[in-house]
Amino acid sequence: MKLSLNEPIIIVNFKTYLESTGKKAIKLAKQAEKASKETGIQIAVVPQFVDVRLLSDIVEIPVLSQHIDAITPGSHTGHILAASIKEAGAIGTLINHSEKQLKLSEIDKIITTTKIENLISCVCVNNPNVSKAISALNPDIISIEPPELIGTGVAVSKAKPEIVTNTINLVRQINKKPIVLCGAGISKPEDVSVAITLGTKGILVASAVVKAINPFELLCKFAEAIKKIEK
Amino acid sequence: MKLSLNEPIIIVNFKTYLESTGKKAIKLAKQAEKASKETGIQIAVVPQFVDVRLLSDIVEIPVLSQHIDAITPGSHTGHILAASIKEAGAIGTLINHSEKQLKLSEIDKIITTTKIENLISCVCVNNPNVSKAISALNPDIISIEPPELIGTGVAVSKAKPEIVTNTINLVRQINKKPIVLCGAGISKPEDVSVAITLGTKGILVASAVVKAINPFELLCKFAEAIKKIEK
Amino acid sequence: MKLSLNEPIIIVNFKTYLESTGKKAIKLAKQAEKASKETGIQIAVVPQFVDVRLLSDIVEIPVLSQHIDAITPGSHTGHILAASIKEAGAIGTLINHSEKQLKLSEIDKIITTTKIENLISCVCVNNPNVSKAISALNPDIISIEPPELIGTGVAVSKAKPEIVTNTINLVRQINKKPIVLCGAGISKPEDVSVAITLGTKGILVASAVVKAINPFELLCKFAEAIKKIEK
Amino acid sequence: MKLSLNEPIIIVNFKTYLESTGKKAIKLAKQAEKASKETGIQIAVVPQFVDVRLLSDIVEIPVLSQHIDAITPGSHTGHILAASIKEAGAIGTLINHSEKQLKLSEIDKIITTTKIENLISCVCVNNPNVSKAISALNPDIISIEPPELIGTGVAVSKAKPEIVTNTINLVRQINKKPIVLCGAGISKPEDVSVAITLGTKGILVASAVVKAINPFELLCKFAEAIKKIEK
């Protein structure tokens, strides 16, 4: 499964919720797949490491890893090897999520590794300044997620639109290539519309979808919100 | 698959070697399974996280995780949830491997979590003093692995037998329950014999097996070495 | 300045409050010194690293470091060398404070270093189980501080006396030597009385004293509370 | 003491060598001061935290801290508060030294803090790519130090001049302001000449000076090497 960086993207981070672990991860991923097929909008899923192969084998939508470590093959018990998540079917990875922040030299090394392994790199940043710095490291995707809004239901795109526009501007000053997503607090279709209007290519969403009564329905609404703006 | 703590145990840590990733992990695990069946000695395998389910589904020997994090379900992107590795088929986990050392409060929390989840806890320690401290936290298994010997081919059981006997004595001063394994540098059947003679219940081994030309054969020799002593 | 482990002790952690930095650290340390002299109860102060020498040169009460790193002299930019804090006048150090938690192997190495350097080791622990583990490493002082109570003004000695008594019992099961202090939420003389009654040798206190309108007066009250019980 | 960013600079990192601790730190700092006065080249010293005030009080050359933490005043036992090292006399700080690497969000926060506290920020980077990223965060100084050369006596300026020139070029693509220094392996006057010729404003040096039989003499030679090029 490929992810096109020229088309809008919804990335669903499964985190370590029980609602998105193991068998429940399958169910959720299938709903994401169905929503993607029905709406034509790309939806990628980001399960826990142990569930990467499980989902890659079952659904026909892109599967990302939540993290990889700045290591090469060898003696690194308990670490995440890029080659292993790739062989399991992941086509890319989150890097530096606010819940798994990394040293700068590690981020640099991991982005380099993703290029070698032909994996898509999605680096999460906490503010526009940091997005500018990351832009210099040339990842595929930069996702702006102010940590203070994660899990609040208050969307960055609505509550602090200037953070999103500043991010896009600062990223572009350095590098035309990376696409920008936004996350943190995205829970309503309107949050998605605003994110796209502000210039992002899509969203990174977690609890709102994982804990939704009907994730399929919510993802469809998100996708439709994107389609309306894109026209 | 269960692991009996009353019988000798060989644990094979796959680390992040390419020789023990994905399809090659399957091949290696099958050799471990065959060696276990032919010799009657328990052999457990410790693959990378993404391969836990893959192996659990295919082989009939115990599969352990290389690590779990001191978290409960929730917002912990990039972390290892006990419940997720359990659902994937792991029956236990390494904790505090010298390549993934943890804070003391985390080790305590993780051991507590393993008890709740009914997972076997195997805590790695770097010296006898630390093994005594860990003994107070009541894990199932304590594996003594002096970091300076890991990957050297110089076995702790032969080069520094007093480290092994001190560990056993100090652990026993505090707690009769945990069994003691030894690792670091184990590469020859003789290293295994000595380990058992010194009073351990078995070994934790990695590169010697993973990179062996014939892992099955080597594991059989290790198992036979144990059987000779046990008689 | 020496600290006797046979007499009651009040340790005042200056943390990184502005009220206890630089010149204000001097003022606060002088009040602690005066309270100690007037009441006859030992009071030690724990300033920031940069203020260790400043206070050691000026006051005649024991000065401790807030932390040392598990290093030997050499290439460790930005780390805390035991020999350097000792030369600056510190007679001991906190280890593993809940705001500066350490890996188990580091705690072991640091305690060993304090013995070599003839420094007093005060290891902070978050629960009774962990105190038992630390007891096996034979530090001079174990301070029980449940993190959830730090800075709350709700004293562990009053709110959860069983945590204090369990700590003392578990420490004693392993090792007769370490004295036990308690911290977290200590703010009233009564909290101190209860701590002593429960069997501790004293307290570790921070914000209540640092931010007191009259730290001298509060420390005198704490000291008097100890003296009443000790009789 | 001020540090001019328009003039050549030699920064001497004392690390945690015994040869540069306490009284020996005074002796070394006085030699640096004397070399600076005799040659007219700025020399700054970077002692351990506990020695910052000691040196600031005694020598009339700039004193930097080896690190500060990404914290504000409060409950951060064992951490380094910008305000405390400033009150002790430091006029700036190293950030992200290869021996004390930081998360990207921390580097960003620390640089912001140095601006608020009017401290000079000197961020260490391991390769040109990372220097470009740091440039986006607008520090005062960027010091390129390939970790593999630190302490080797093989100077980056001589062994890998392209690393230095790439760093300068990439930094300048993003930001005209930060000056660039180079470190790692600098041990001979010729290493310094080459560094200046390549376009740096000076050097960051450690063991070569700290462990020199005559640090004063070596620093004078370094300074003279700079003066020859500058003419």
- Band (A160; pLDDT cuts 50, 70, 90): confident
CA dist C153 and C132 (Å) reads 26
A224 membership: H or E segment, kind and range: helix A215-230
CA dist B21 and A76 (Å) reads 13
* pLDDT recorded at residue C231: 66
* pLDDT recorded at residue D231: 66
Q: Which of A48, A85, A100 sits opposite B84 (nearest CB)?
A: A48
* pLDDT recorded at residue B140: 98
* pLDDT recorded at residue D62: 98
Question: What's the token pair of residue D183?
Answer: 């470190």
Chain D: which residues have CB within 8 Å of chain A?
96, 98, 101-105, 107-108, 125-127, 129-130, 132-137, 170, 174
Q: Three-class SS string for C213-229? A: CCHHHHHHHHHHHHHHH
* pLDDT recorded at residue B231: 66
Of the residues B33, B67, B117, B145, only one is catalytic, namely B145
CA dist B28 and D166 (Å) reads 45
- Band (C108; pLDDT cuts 50, 70, 90): very high
B73, A13 Cβ separation under 8 angstroms: no
Rounded to an integer, the average pLDDT of A100-121 is 97
User: Does the pLDDT at position C116 exceed 90?
Assistant: yes
Q: Hunting for tokens 């269960």 — which residue is that?
A: B2
User: For B22-44, how does the pLDDT look when each residue is reduced to its tens digit (9 = 90+)?
Assistant: 999 999 999 999 999 999 999 99
Q: Which chains sit next to A, with 3 or more Cβ pairs under 8 A?
A: B, D
Residues of B in contact with A74 (CB under 8 A): 15-17
- CA distances for A139 relative to A96, A203, A222, C37, angstroms: 12, 16, 25, 62
Chain C: closest CA distance from residue B57 (Å): 35
Rounded to an integer, the average pLDDT of B16-24 is 97
Q: Where are the beta strands (DSSP E) in chain B?
A: 9-13, 42-46, 64-65, 92-95, 120-125, 141-144, 179-183, 202-205
Per-residue pLDDT of chain D (231 residues; tens, 9 = 90+): 789 999 999 999 999 999 999 999 999 999 999 999 999 999 999 999 999 999 999 999 999 999 999 999 999 999 999 999 999 999 999 999 999 999 999 999 999 999 999 999 999 999 999 999 999 999 999 999 888 877 777 888 878 889 999 999 999 999 999 999 998 788 999 999 999 999 999 999 999 999 999 999 999 999 999 999 876
Q: Where are the beta strands (DSSP E) in chain A?
A: 9-13, 42-46, 64-65, 92-95, 120-125, 141-144, 179-183, 202-205
The residue of C103, C105, C111 whose CB has the most chain B CBs within 10 angstroms, and thus the best one to mutate to test that interface, is C105
Rounded to an integer, the average pLDDT of C72-100 is 97
Chain D: closest CA distance from residue A202 (Å): 23
* pLDDT recorded at residue D185: 86
- C-beta atoms surrounding D9 within 10 Å: 25
- Band (A152; pLDDT cuts 50, 70, 90): confident
Chain D: closest CA distance from residue C52 (Å): 6
Rounded to an integer, the average pLDDT of B72-92 is 97
User: For A39-57, how does the pLDDT look when each residue is reduced to its tens digit (9 = 90+)?
Assistant: 999 999 999 999 999 999 9
Chain B: closest CA distance from residue C44 (Å): 26
Rounded to an integer, the average pLDDT of A89-94 is 98
Just list the catalytic residues of A.
Answer: 97, 145
User: Does the pLDDT at position A157 exceed 90?
Assistant: no
CA atoms within 13 Å, Cβ hemisphere of D231 = 5
Do β-strands A179-183 and A141-144 pair in parallel, antiparallel, or remain unpaired?
Answer: parallel
Q: Which of C96, C104, C132 sits opposite B107 (nearest CB)?
A: C104
Between A149-158, A170-179, D194-203, the lowest mean confidence (pLDDT) is in: A149-158
Q: Which amino acid is at D149?
A: L
* pLDDT recorded at residue B154: 82
CA dist D190 and C66 (Å) reads 42
Q: For chain D, give percent helix, strand, coil, nearest 5.
A: 45, 15, 35
User: Does the pLDDT at position C193 exceed 70?
Assistant: yes
Of the residues D33, D67, D97, D117, only one is catalytic, namely D97
* pLDDT recorded at residue C35: 98
Q: Hunting for tokens 């005066």 — which residue is that?
A: C34
Q: Is D136 exposed, middle or buried (0-12, 13-18, 19+ CB in 10 A)?
A: buried
Residues of A in contact with D126 (CB under 8 A): 105, 108
User: Does the pLDDT at position B76 exceed 90?
Assistant: yes
- Band (C124; pLDDT cuts 50, 70, 90): very high
Which residue of chain C is at minimal alpha-carbon distance from B127?
A: C105
- The mean pLDDT value of chain B amounts to 95
Chain B: closest CA distance from residue C227 (Å): 34
Whether C and D touch (3+ CB pairs < 8 Å), yes or no: yes
Helix extents (H) in D88-160: 104-117, 128-135, 156-159
In the three-class reduction of DSSP (H, G, I as helix; E, B as strand; rest coil), residue A182 is classed as: strand
CA dist D16 and D147 (Å) reads 17
- Band (A231; pLDDT cuts 50, 70, 90): low
* pLDDT recorded at residue A229: 85
Q: CB A75 to CB B50 under 8 A?
A: no
CA dist D157 and D144 (Å) reads 10
Residues of D in contact with A135 (CB under 8 A): 136
Residues of D in contact with A124 (CB under 8 A): none
Q: CB A77 to CB B88 under 8 A?
A: no
User: Does the pLDDT at position B4 exceed 90?
Assistant: yes
Residues of A in contact with D170 (CB under 8 A): 136
Q: How many residues does chain D have?
A: 231
Q: Which of A48, A76, A151 sits opposite B75 (nearest CB)?
A: A151
Which residue of chain D is at minimal alpha-carbon distance from A146?
A: D105
Q: Which of D23, D79, D99 sits opposite C75 (nearest CB)?
A: D99
A196, A202 Cβ separation under 8 angstroms: yes
* pLDDT recorded at residue C76: 97
In the three-class reduction of DSSP (H, G, I as helix; E, B as strand; rest coil), residue D13 is classed as: strand
The answer to whether D87 is a known catalytic residue is no
User: For A128-138, how does the pLDDT look when each residue is reduced to its tens digit (9 = 90+)?
Assistant: 999 999 999 99
- C-beta atoms surrounding C159 within 10 Å: 16
